[in-house]
């Protein structure tokens, strides 16, 4: 605990000693204020529960002893001194004298506190009320910038490029066929790559009314890629794209005790689901990449467990459960009724212990609608004969890994496909849990685990969807899991603060939708396994360095492994 925290704690203790027994109203007010401040110090990890209890007990005992000693000293001094002529000694202090003393102490204390506050306002340039328009105070501007060096190193025993076993389905669909895509229709498995990349995000939050705010965030990156806001340098001097990454309304309902029991959001919003993990990763990316924004609506209801009339427990939010529901349109079509949707629900638990340890857990179910490929059933199966439903079943974005099926042939030769879609449905059960060990504070040890299972995958339907290619055997690869450990400071915002992390991830081919999973692990998508090691180190206030080493390999299919080194300079403002 630094000097500032020690002074704060001593100030809180001394406040208890000033109170006199007969002042009921002020005693309650001062006691509540002191208790709330001590509670806040406990929540922030500055004090433990035991330290807070000991502090209050010691302050009360010291105040009582000091009061008795002062009374005894004054009485003894008065009795020992010889009386002046005409002096009449009174064995008690009249009540009006006590009131005058109390009032004088209050006035002196008030002047001292006001002086301290005014000095702080001057030093921190709080400003003068009415000096600026009222609407300015309702806006908050923030942002972050990241500069990255990234090396993609391919394993020497990878199958050489181009390999039909590693087709870039996204590039093929965009080009209109395998032949039209050419070499761009294959994933790079042989050539090492070095890139400098940049990410810029700028956010504006506006308070509309009590509990209601609007938010807008702009981000760099390419519009067709929902899971990355990186901009690769080397554009021959052309300008970067700057897109609307988020635009939403958010309402928080708070009860009389300050507990946020309901949150409603709509528009293009942040991930509403609990996904575990640490601050800089934004949580596990097993199912959802951290750069992914959701378009639609979400609601979260929270219920506080426990609570009592005790001063220290009345506003305790350490034990709560929650439930989140969300509905998100993925693709809307004018000529087809088969709009694509994602519906999801999650229930979870937040449980903080008296020793400042914390347990978080959540179980979720994500249900995708109308995302399976609809095969062209015309005689020649050519893409130009597609119906609107055939075209609508093509995924708008894929990273690779999921089992796919040809929707139609590129041309009359029927030599290869002109369009691909997903071979099966995706209904995902996801379980997250993390445990924060705070006994070594300010250093924390966070252990977390994540498991996902695609219960909607049907091997028979997947095999039937591949009728155009004649493939009849599809393996059930529908499990994914991750185990992770973080050690160090929870937040890197000052020089010298640090943390390190390590995790192992295993993502089978159809465990999750490859479009939305981690875009860095194995360079994006599913059907991958491997280790990730990394750390963060504070260089100065709000500036830190991040390093990550990702070593991954394919689970099934031709050999394809890669190692990735990412070195970042990050800042927030």
> What residue spans define the domains of the chain?
1-72, 97-139, 140-200+216-224+247-572
| Residue 6 clears pLDDT 60, i.e. is over it | no
What pairs with residue 262 in β-bridges?
253, 301
Distance between start and end Cα atoms, the chain: 27
User: Which pLDDT tens digit goes with each residue over 131-141?
Assistant: 567 778 889 99
Kindly report the pTM of this predicted structure.
Answer: 0.77
Supply the pLDDT for residue 539.
Answer: 97
Which of 212-226, 417-431, 528-542 is predicted least confidently? 212-226
| Residue 337 clears pLDDT 90, i.e. is over it | yes
Which residue in this structure is represented by tokens 């003068």? 128
Supply the pLDDT for residue 398.
Answer: 95
Which of 3-12, 107-116, 275-284, 529-538 is predicted least confidently? 3-12
Let me know the angle formed at the C-alpha of 240 by 238 and 243, rounded to the nearest 5 degrees. Answer: 150
Supply the pLDDT for residue 320.
Answer: 94
Three-state DSSP state, 11: helix
For residue 87, give both structure tokens. 């002096």
For residue 141, give both structure tokens. 């501007």
For residue 508, give both structure tokens. 């089978």
Q: Between residues 557 and 430, which one has the greater pLDDT?
A: 430
- The answer to whether 367 touches 325, Cβ cutoff 8 Å, is no
- Give mean pLDDT, residues 106-110: 69
User: Which pLDDT tens digit goes with each residue over 303-313?
Assistant: 998 754 454 45
Supply the pLDDT for residue 469.
Answer: 82
Reported as a pLDDT band with limits 50, 70 and 90, residue 86 is low
Supply the pLDDT for residue 523.
Answer: 96
Within its chain, how far is the Cα of 89 from the centroid? 71
CA neighbor of 273 nearest in space, from 317, 320, 325? 325
State the burial class of residue 157 (Cβ atoms within 10 Å of its Cβ: 0-12, 13-18, 19+).
exposed
Which of 103-112, 174-183, 197-206, 230-239 is predicted least confidently? 103-112
| Residue 123 clears pLDDT 50, i.e. is over it | yes
511/352 Cα distance (integer angstroms):
32
Q: What is the mean pLDDT of the chain?
A: 85
DSSP 127-182: --TTSS-GGGGGEEEEEEEEEEEEEEEE-TTSPPSS-TTSB-HHHHHHHTSHHHHG
Supply the pLDDT for residue 34.
Answer: 72
Supply the pLDDT for residue 481.
Answer: 97
- Give mean pLDDT, residues 71-85: 61
What pairs with residue 502 in β-bridges?
485, 533
Cis ω for the linkage preceding 162 (within 30 of 0): yes
52/269 Cα distance (integer angstroms):
39
Supply the pLDDT for residue 307.
Answer: 56
- Give mean pLDDT, residues 424-437: 96
Reported as a pLDDT band with limits 50, 70 and 90, residue 3 is very low
Supply the pLDDT for residue 121.
Answer: 65
| Residue 204 clears pLDDT 80, i.e. is over it | yes
CA neighbor of 560 nearest in space, from 449, 400, 408, 358? 400
Supply the pLDDT for residue 104.
Answer: 74
Percent of the chain, pLDDT > 90? 63
- Give mean pLDDT, residues 251-274: 94
- Domain 140-200+216-224+247-572 annotated CATH 2.40.160: yes
Which of 46-60, 240-254, 271-285, 452-466 is predicted least confidently? 46-60
550/529 Cα distance (integer angstroms):
10
For residue 527, give both structure tokens. 């059907």
């Amino acid at each position: 605990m630094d000097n500032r925290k020690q002074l704060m704690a001593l100030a809180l203790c001394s406040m208890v000693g000033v109170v006199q027994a007969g002042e009921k109203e002020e005693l309650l007010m001062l006691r509540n204020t002191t208790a709330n401040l001590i509670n806040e110090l406990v929540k922030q990890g500055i004090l433990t529960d035991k330290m807070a209890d000991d502090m209050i007990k010691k302050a009360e005992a010291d105040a009582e002893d000091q009061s008795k000693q002062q009374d005894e000293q004054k009485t003894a001094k008065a009795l020992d001194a010889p009386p002046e002529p005409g002096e009449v000694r009174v064995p008690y202090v009249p009540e009006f004298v006590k009131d005058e003393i109390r009032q004088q102490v209050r006035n002196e204390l008030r002047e001292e506190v006001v002086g301290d506050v005014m000095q702080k306002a001057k030093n921190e340039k709080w400003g003068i009320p009415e000096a600026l328009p009222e609407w300015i105070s309702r806006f908050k501007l923030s942002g972050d910038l990241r500069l990255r060096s990234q090396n993609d190193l391919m394993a020497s025993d990878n199958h050489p490029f181009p390999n039909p076993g590693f087709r870039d389905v996204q590039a093929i669909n965009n080009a209109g066929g395998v032949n039209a895509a050419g070499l761009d229709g294959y994933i790079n498995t042989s050539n090492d790559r070095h890139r400098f990349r940049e990410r810029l995000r700028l956010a504006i939050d506006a308070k509309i009314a009590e509990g209601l705010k609007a938010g807008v965030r702009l981000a760099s990156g390419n519009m067709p890629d929902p899971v990355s806001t990186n901009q690769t340098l080397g554009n021959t001097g052309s300008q970067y794209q700057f897109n609307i990454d988020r635009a939403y309304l958010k309402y928080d309902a708070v009860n009389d005790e300050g507990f946020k029991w309901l949150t409603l959001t709509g528009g293009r919003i942040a991930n509403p689901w609990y996904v575990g993990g640490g601050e800089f990763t934004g949580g596990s990316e097993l199912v959802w990449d951290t750069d992914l924004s959701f378009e639609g609506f979400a609601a979260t209801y929270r219920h506080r467990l426990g609570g009592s009339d005790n001063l220290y427990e009345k506003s305790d939010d350490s034990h709560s459960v929650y439930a989140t529901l969300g509905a998100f349109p993925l693709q809307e079509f004018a000529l087809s009724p088969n709009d694509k949707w994602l519906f999801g629900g999650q229930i979870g638990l937040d449980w903080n212990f008296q020793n400042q340890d914390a347990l978080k857990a959540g179980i979720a179910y994500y249900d995708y609608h109308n995302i399976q490929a609809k095969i062209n059933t015309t005689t020649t199966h050519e893409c130009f004969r597609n119906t609107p439903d055939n075209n609508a079943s093509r995924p708008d974005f894929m990273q690779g890994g999921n089992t796919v099926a040809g929707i139609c042939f590129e041309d009359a030769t029927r030599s290869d496909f002109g369009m691909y879609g997903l071979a099966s449905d995706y209904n995902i059960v996801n379980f997250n849990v993390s445990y924060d060990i705070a006994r070594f504070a300010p250093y924390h040890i966070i252990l977390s685990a994540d498991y996902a299972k695609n219960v909607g995958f049907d091997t028979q339907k997947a095999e039937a969807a591949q009728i155009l290619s004649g493939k009849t055997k599809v393996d059930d690869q529908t499990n994914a899991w991750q185990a992770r450990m973080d050690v160090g400071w929870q937040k890197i915002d000052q020089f010298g603060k640090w943390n390190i992390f390590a995790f192992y991830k295993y993502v089978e081919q159809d465990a999750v939708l490859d479009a939305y999973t981690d875009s860095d692990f194995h360079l994006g998508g599913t059907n991958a396994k491997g280790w990730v090691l990394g750390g963060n180190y504070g260089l100065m206030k709000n500036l830190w360095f991040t390093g990550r080493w990702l070593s991954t390999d394919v689970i099934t299919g031709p050999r394809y492994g890669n190692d990735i080194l990412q070195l970042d300079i990050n800042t927030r403002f």
